[in-house]
Amino acid sequence: MKENLSVQFVYPSYKLPEEYLGAIDEVDHFNIMPASIAKNDADAIVVDGWEFNEKVTFHIPLIIRTGKVSLFQHADKLKEALKHSMRIDVVITDVDTFKEEDFKRYESILNDFADAVEQMYVEGLSPQLNILTDRMMLRKMNNCGAGDTTITLAPNGKFYICPAFYYEDKEDKVGDLIEGLDIKNKQLYKLEYAPICRHCDAWQCKRCVWLNRKTTLEVNTPSHEQCVVAHIERNASRKLLSSIRQHGTFLPEFGEICEIDYLDPFDNKRNWQNN
């Protein structure tokens, strides 16, 4: 609080003692809660998988964590849930396992969602689905920010780049409450120091630094899979934006999303390597 940071609490799936809840209430905060314990005090609800009623109306963002196969299997459920929710954020937990056939399937599902969402907009609804609609409403990169604009304080009193670093290896800390923050080479978490990402316009991409390190051993270098998944989303957004605009003025303050001929910005490097 001394650093004037806003605090997001990620809750466990069991109820916290009243004493903890009282302490949390003393600071400005945002509650991210599993569906199993969420009540009126949640600011975002998280479900691991697809065990929720897609016809229930959510007035706060619903975050769905899912593997790719499960996402493909539950595409219809997601489409139905979109009609009842103000916003759904899908977090694909195994992006690094995507293969050619998965890219094709993902593209086909997103194009199908785009048709459904177009119809919803025509009917006066305005659902938001991060993997489809975020890119339409951005003018610049809007990535995760772990290690740069956000930091995680774990239950052990230590700082981590993000919760994934904590869960993977508790020794992988970047400081603690007593000694303060200690991020080595902290410039590497900034977009300016990400040689591929800073030439990219898949602005909705999570640019997951944990996934980068897991797949390429560098926090500022993405894997091919992460880039292709983000570009499939970008291109589905492009299609959706142009389809909705056939029905009338829509988001006039945002420009067109241009057509590109690559899915991985690394393949476009000849056009940016001198910049």
Binding interface with ligand SF4 (CB under 6 A): 196-197, 200, 202, 205, 207, 222, 226-227, 230-231, 265
From its phi and psi, is residue 57 left (phi > 0), alpha (psi between -120 and 50) or beta?
A: beta
Q: Which is nearer to ligand SF4, 78 or 202 (CB)?
A: 202
Give the CA radius of gyration of the chain.
Answer: 20
* DSSP of 170-196: TT---EETTTEE--TTGGGGSGGG-TT
Residues 6+ apart with CB under 8 A from 254: 136, 137, 138, 139, 241
Quick one: which of 140, 142, 159 has its CA closest to 3?
A: 159
Q: Which is nearer to ligand SF4, 135 or 173 (CB)?
A: 135
Residue 192 CB, shortest distance to ligand SF4, in Å, is 13
Q: Which is nearer to ligand SF4, 172 or 201 (CB)?
A: 201
Phi, psi of 145 (to 5 degrees): 85, 5
Q: Which is nearer to ligand SF4, 32 or 141 (CB)?
A: 141
Residue 143 CB, shortest distance to ligand SF4, in Å, is 6
Quick one: which of 123, 85, 133 has its CA closest to 247?
A: 123
Buried b (16+ CB within 10 A) or exposed e, 75-92: bebbbebbebbebbbbbb
Task: Give the whole-angstrom CA distance, residue 75 versus residue 81.
Answer: 10
Residue 195 CB, shortest distance to ligand SF4, in Å, is 9
Residue 263 CB, shortest distance to ligand SF4, in Å, is 9
Sign of CA dihedral 151, 61, 96, 111: negative
Q: Which is nearer to ligand SF4, 60 or 141 (CB)?
A: 141
Q: Which is nearer to ligand SF4, 158 or 234 (CB)?
A: 234
Task: Give the whole-angstrom CA distance, residue 191 versus residue 204.
Answer: 13
Residue 274 CB, shortest distance to ligand SF4, in Å, is 18
Residue 188 CB, shortest distance to ligand SF4, in Å, is 13
Residue 20 CB, shortest distance to ligand SF4, in Å, is 36
Q: Which is nearer to ligand SF4, 129 or 202 (CB)?
A: 202
Q: Which is nearer to ligand SF4, 75 or 141 (CB)?
A: 141
- DSSP structure class, residue 16: P
Task: Give the whole-angstrom CA distance, residue 55 versus residue 204.
Answer: 27
Query: What tokens were used for 34?
Result: 């599993």
Residue 237 CB, shortest distance to ligand SF4, in Å, is 13
